[in-house]
Amino acid sequence: MNWKQKLFSSFTVAAILSMSAVAGAVEKKENSKPNIVVIYVDDLGYGDLSCTGATGVQTPNVDKLAQNGILFTDAHCSAATCTPSRYSLLTGSYAFRKNAAVLQGDAPLLIEPGTPTLPSMLQQEGYKTAVIGKWHLGLGNGNVDWNGDVKPGPLEIGFDYSYLIPATGDRVPCVLLENHKVLGLDQNDPITVSYDGMVGTDPTGTKNPDLLRYGADKQHSNTIVNGISRIGYMTGGNAARWKDETIPFQMLSKARSFIDENQETPFFLYFAFLDIHVPRLPALRFAGKSTMGVRGDAIVQMDYITGQLVDYLKSKGLLDNTLIVFSSDNGPVINDGYDDKAMELLGDHKPGGIYRGGKYSAYEAGTRVPTIAYWPNKIKGGQTSNALVGHVDLYASIASLVNHELQDGEAPDSFNQLETYLGTDNKGRAELVEEAYTLSIREGKWKYIQATKNAGGWIKTEKNIESGLSTKAQLYNLEDDPKELNNLAESNPKLVVKLDAKLQKIKNE
Ligand code: NG6
Ligand code: CA
């Protein structure tokens, strides 16, 4: 309460009591548990926002969240690819414990029903929960029938509502699911999906390159949907196939309905963008809105939709008591399989900011992603925090926020960092594991990257990204050398042994 509100409340108790119905409703909203919205962008790099130094694209709506909230400069998703990061976000458990890796579009559900999850914990605490957007955590039991009830899925692990892109934008099946059903499916045109070989007679990128809007590499040259060849084969489901251009708007519309329906209870919305992952097909109204071609235009679209979502919460009188966490599931990639001119049009924009590497990489740009916490009622605006934080901690931090006591085995790798997330302290984590085809550990200014058997040459040759993998141990002092240019492992053998032992211990916990 500010002084005006205090004055108002002390002098007008009687008046409020006489207006109890209306005032009671206002009080209830103010005192009740906050709504929680996690906005998770796909493949957005540390430097991809104007508030983190982007050139070539402006993100005024996201910048506003940062300006009126906290911008974290050393926050990390759990891994340098999508599935493991999302697994950790929802379970509060490191993804290496589950061997979580990028999943195909027909993979079974990775999180077993019964596993405590962020949404199931919030359900227990009286929240209504929804996931809207990219899932990529598997669906079904391993032999999913896309024409029937597609389950288990989000509804079986803690979400009350789901509206899903099943895997990635570049993987079949290219259909949207609402709860257990494929939306708009004509039962006379059933869907078959395969990652083993061709099904049906639909054109593919390999056979029909003349039908493509973008050229693609071999892995992305299977079934063509909406003029784009994808990874994997599908046939049928023609009426249900998505138009990439309209997905963010459909997501926004579903988010508004979810908010409408649940405005009287606290809610948790996991809003998982498809942008700015490939294929990048922003709606026409965003064409040319950046100087970077479709990758930049997709960032503009993401920013616009974020603004619309925030405005909607505001129009409903809900924004002040909503905690919004905005971030990304892994670092940036420019060329991820399609000839969309993202590389040619990049200019001097640095998608990973000053950091080395990118998506797939063990260097900092792999997991150090722009992260913003915003909550008008609680978070003082205009803050920048350099505390070391991990998205894996959102589970325990949010649990603390809603007074949920963690049970044994619940969110095992998640630490309560609520004070840091709310900006009332700047401590952050003492240590944090980063994952990217190897494991690294951060401790204060130090970062140790474990040696691997091979140096991940494909990341450089196929993606033009420095992998950060090496057959030798690596040790960096990020305070003096944030770009990870000077490997200090050989001159600090004791520290290497110590950090390696620490990592092993965490692995064996
Ligand atoms: C890779 C895909 C890439 C992307 C990635 C997952 C290649 C050749 N292809 O297998 O395009 O889909 O998986 O991205 O690398 S993620 O953001 O969902 O992790
Ligand atoms: Ca991703």
226 pLDDT exceeds 80?
Answer: yes
Instruction: Name 372's bridge partners.
Output: 71, 326
DSSP three-state, residue 366: helix
Count other Cβ atoms within 10 Å, centred on residue 145: 12
Please write the tens of the pLDDT for every residue from 237-266: 999 999 999 999 999 999 999 999 999 999
Residue 18, pLDDT > 50, answer no
- Residues touching ligand 1 (Cβ under 6 Å) are 42-43, 81-82, 102, 136, 168, 170, 219, 277-278, 330, 336-337, 462
The answer on pLDDT for 450 being more than 70 is yes
Residue nearest atom 1 of ligand 1, based on CA coordinates: 102
pLDDT digits (tens, 9 = 90+) for 97-145: 999 999 999 999 999 999 999 999 999 999 999 999 999 999 999 999 9
Mean pLDDT, residues 335-341 taken together:
97
Residues 6+ apart with CB under 8 A from 242: 165, 174, 175, 176, 225, 226
CA–centroid distance, 81 to ligand 2, in Å, is 5
Cβ proximity of 395 and 405 under 8 Å:
no
For residues 55 and 348, the answer to whether their CB atoms sit within 8 Å is yes
Q: Are 191 and 236 in contact (CB under 8 A)?
A: yes
Ligand 2 centroid, distance to 483 Cα (angstroms)? 22
Which 3 state secondary structure label does DSSP give 138? coil
The position carrying tokens 């997501």 is 251
Pinpoint the alpha helices (H) of 387-448: 394-401, 418-421
Rounded CA Rg of the chain: 23
Write out the two tokens for 391: 């998205």
| Cβ atoms < 10 Å from Cβ of 287 | 12
Q: Decide: helix, strand or coil at residue 182.
A: strand
**Predicted local confidence at residue 454, as pLDDT:** 85
Q: Which residue's CA is the nearest one to ligand 1's atom 2?
A: 336
**In which band, very low, low, confident or very high, does the pLDDT at 184 lie, cut at 50, 70 and 90?**
very high
The backbone torsions φ and ψ at residue 82, rounded to the nearest 5 degrees and listed phi first, read -70, -60
Minimum-distance ligand 1 atom for the alpha carbon of 217 = 8
| Residues making up the chain, counted from first to last | 509
Residue 14: which H helix or E strand, with range? helix 13-18
pTM to 2 decimal places = 0.94
39: preceding bond cis by omega (within 30 degrees) = no
Quote the CA–CA distance of 232 and 102 in Å, as a whole number: 14
Is 190 within 8 Å of 159 (Cβ atoms)?
no
* Direct distance between the N- and C-terminal alpha carbons of the chain, in angstroms, rounded to an integer: 44
> For residue 354, what is the DSSP state?
T
Distance CA 15, CA 201 (A): 73
Mean pLDDT of the chain: 94
The minimum-distance atom of ligand 1 relative to the CA of 43 is: 17
Looking at residue 455, its pLDDT comes to: 82
- Give the phi and the psi of residue 417 in degrees, each rounded to 5: -115, 30
ipTM of model: 0.95
Q: Whole-angstrom Cα distance, residue 200 to residue 206?
A: 15
Determine the average pLDDT of the residues in 486-493.
Answer: 98
Contact present, 57 and 349 (Cβ < 8 Å): yes
Closest residue (by CA) to atom 18 of ligand 1?
82
Q: Which atom of ligand 1 is nearest to the CA of 330?
A: 17
Pairing of strands 446-449, 70-72: unpaired
CA atoms within 13 A on the CB side of 292: 25
Q: Where are the alpha helices (DSSP H) in 316-439?
A: 394-401, 418-421
Neighbours of 44 (CB within 10 A): 29
Q: Which helix (H) or strand (E) holds 384?
A: strand 383-385
* Half-sphere exposure of residue 170: CA atoms within 13 angstroms, side-chain side: 22
479: exposed, middle or buried (C-beta count within 10 Å: 0-12, 13-18, 19+)? Answer: exposed
pLDDT for the residue numbered 59: 98
Determine the pLDDT at residue 27: 41
Q: Is 400 helix (H, G, I), strand (E, B) or coil?
A: helix
Q: What is the pLDDT of residue 31?
A: 52
Beta bridge partners of 175: 241
pLDDT at position 35 over 50: yes
Closest atom of ligand 1 to CA, residue 85: 19
Whole-angstrom distance, CA of residue 190 vs CA of residue 236 = 5
Distance 382 CA to ligand 2 centre (A): 28
Share of the chain above pLDDT 70, in %: 94
Phi, psi of 377 (to 5 degrees): -70, -25
